[in-house]
């Protein structure tokens, strides 16, 4: 019968058999899937696994610390953190176009991750032969069921590595649905904030700032987003909504009055949605008191924000994210 205990036991045995005495690398994104996959592999092979976390500086408040501290404390995993904030912000300088932002973030991410992989191989030798991925059952079905290997092009020339590194994939979540992955993560003792995390896009807050991305704007959006998340959690609404992007309209200003005078600040958009699979979505009918609390707190606590607006568009026609 299906129990999380059985799944863990079975996967641990399979991973040990597959990896043997070789070594594996796993990229952590801060999301549920990569965290649970890493925790399972860690349980199976311990220090033969090295995790890599690329901090692109576009995460929400506290998320990087969650990976660096809480995830490591819960699993004992060996973690390499790459602080690449400067690099990403430099690459994003002057860019406002959403597709351009996505392209830059994706490209930089791959470069930084490959560099980290090459360094691990330089340190640990050629027995690094496996790459862990948090592929879920729906991803397997969608992509036609293929599995196998990943080719990593190494254009960094670290320590005389071969031009093309071929990794075998370890995919311990291939038979699981999202809710089952969360249950396995819980059973493995992962932090609640990671196990119950709602979807968050790879490009992070970079695509939730309409306009150019910079550190100041990111900090502002992080503060507003943290308030919205805090109040939604306090109201017990996390399970009712699919996700709630908080968006900064950085190129828009409007007039307000705060304290003793006139302000000319930026609007923050709340985008709470209900959905089954993110293909379609409806705007969530959140209680007015919760919206009021979020609005009051954001305008009081976040400098330069003098207006909070609610997005009442379904998908279609609107996408969930603004960019
Ligand atoms: P949209 O905005 O297309 O979003 O309605 C649908 C879902 O996908 C998430 N999303 C992304 N996830 N990389 C990701 O990993 C991305 O580039 C990306 N863009 C959107 C979004 O948060 C929503 O859950």
Q: Domains of the chain (ranges plus CATH)?
A: 4-194 (3.40.50.620), 208-310 (3.30.300.10)
67-114 tens-digit pLDDT:
999 999 999 999 999 999 999 999 999 999 999 999 999 999 999 999
Q: Is the CB of 320 under 6 A from ligand 1?
A: yes
Q: Which 3 state secondary structure label does DSSP give 310?
A: strand
ipTM reported for the complex surpasses 0.90: yes
- What end-to-end distance do the CA atoms of the chain give, in Å? 44
Rounded CA separation 249/157 (Å): 41
Q: How far does the centroid of ligand 1 lie from the alpha carbon of residue 249, in Å?
A: 18
Q: Is the CB of 79 under 6 A from ligand 1?
A: no
Q: Report the percent of the chain where pLDDT is more than 90.
A: 89
207-217 tens-digit pLDDT:
999 999 999 99
Q: Is the CB of 29 under 6 A from ligand 1?
A: no
Q: How far does the centroid of ligand 1 lie from the alpha carbon of residue 142, in Å?
A: 16
Q: Which 3 state secondary structure label does DSSP give 246?
A: strand
Asked whether residue 257 is marked as a ligand-binding residue, the answer is no
pLDDT of residue 126: 84
Q: Is the CB of 58 under 6 A from ligand 1?
A: no
Rounded CA separation 291/239 (Å): 17
Q: How far does the centroid of ligand 1 lie from the alpha carbon of residue 221, in Å?
A: 18
Asked whether residue 96 is marked as a ligand-binding residue, the answer is no
Q: What is the pTM of this model?
A: 0.92
Separation of CA 306 from chain center:
29
Q: Is the CB of 321 under 6 A from ligand 1?
A: yes
Q: How many helices (H) and strands (E) does the chain have?
A: 11, 13
Rounded CA separation 152/240 (Å): 40
Q: Which 3 state secondary structure label does DSSP give 208?
A: coil
How far CA 252 is from CA of 12, 88, 216, in Å, comes to 52, 24, 16
Helix axis angle, 4-19 to 178-187, nearest 10°: 90
pLDDT of residue 154: 46
Q: Is the CB of 319 under 6 A from ligand 1?
A: yes
Rounded CA separation 306/75 (Å): 42
Rounded CA separation 132/34 (Å): 8
Asked whether residue 30 is marked as a ligand-binding residue, the answer is yes
159 pLDDT band, cuts 50/70/90, is very low
- Residue whose Cα lies nearest atom 3 of ligand 1: it is 319
144 pLDDT band, cuts 50/70/90, is confident
Asked whether residue 35 is marked as a ligand-binding residue, the answer is yes
pLDDT of residue 267: 98
């Amino acid at each position: 019968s299906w129990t999380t205990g059985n799944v863990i036991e079975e996967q641990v045995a399979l991973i040990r058999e597959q990896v043997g005495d070789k070594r594996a690398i796993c990229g952590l994104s801060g999301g549920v899937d990569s965290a649970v996959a890493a925790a399972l592999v860690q349980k199976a092979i311990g220090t033969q696994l090295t995790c890599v976390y690329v901090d692109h500086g576009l995460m929400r408040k506290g998320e990087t610390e969650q990976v660096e501290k809480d995830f490591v404390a819960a699993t004992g995993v060996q973690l390499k953190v790459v602080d690449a904030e400067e690099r990403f912000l430099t690459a994003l300088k002057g860019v406002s176009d959403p597709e351009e932002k996505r392209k830059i973030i994706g490209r930089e991410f791959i470069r930084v991750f490959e560099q980290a992989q090459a360094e691990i191989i330089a340190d640990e030798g050629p027995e690094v032969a496996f790459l862990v991925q948090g592929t879920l059952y729906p991803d397997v079905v969608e992509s036609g069921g293929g599995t196998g290997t990943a080719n990593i092009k190494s254009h960094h020339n670290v320590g005389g590595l071969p031009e093309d590194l071929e990794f075998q994939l370890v995919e311990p979540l291939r038979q699981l649905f999202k809710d089952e992955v969360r249950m396995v993560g819980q059973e493995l003792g992962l932090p609640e904030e990671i196990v119950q995390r709602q979807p968050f896009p790879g490009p992070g807050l970079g695509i939730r700032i309409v306009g150019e991305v910079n550190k100041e704007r990111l900090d502002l959006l992080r503060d507003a987003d943290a308030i919205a998340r805090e109040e939604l959690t306090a109201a017990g609404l996390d399970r009712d909504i699919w996700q709630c992007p908080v968006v900064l309209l950085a190129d828009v200003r409007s007039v307000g009055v705060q304290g003793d005078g006139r302000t000319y600040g930026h609007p923050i958009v709340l985008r709470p949605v209900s959905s089954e699979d993110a293909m379609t979505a409806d705007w969530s009918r959140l209680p007015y008191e919760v919206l009021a609390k979020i609005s009051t707190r954001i305008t009081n606590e976040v400098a330069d924000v003098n207006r909070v607006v609610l997005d009442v568009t379904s998908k279609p026609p609107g996408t969930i994210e603004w960019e």
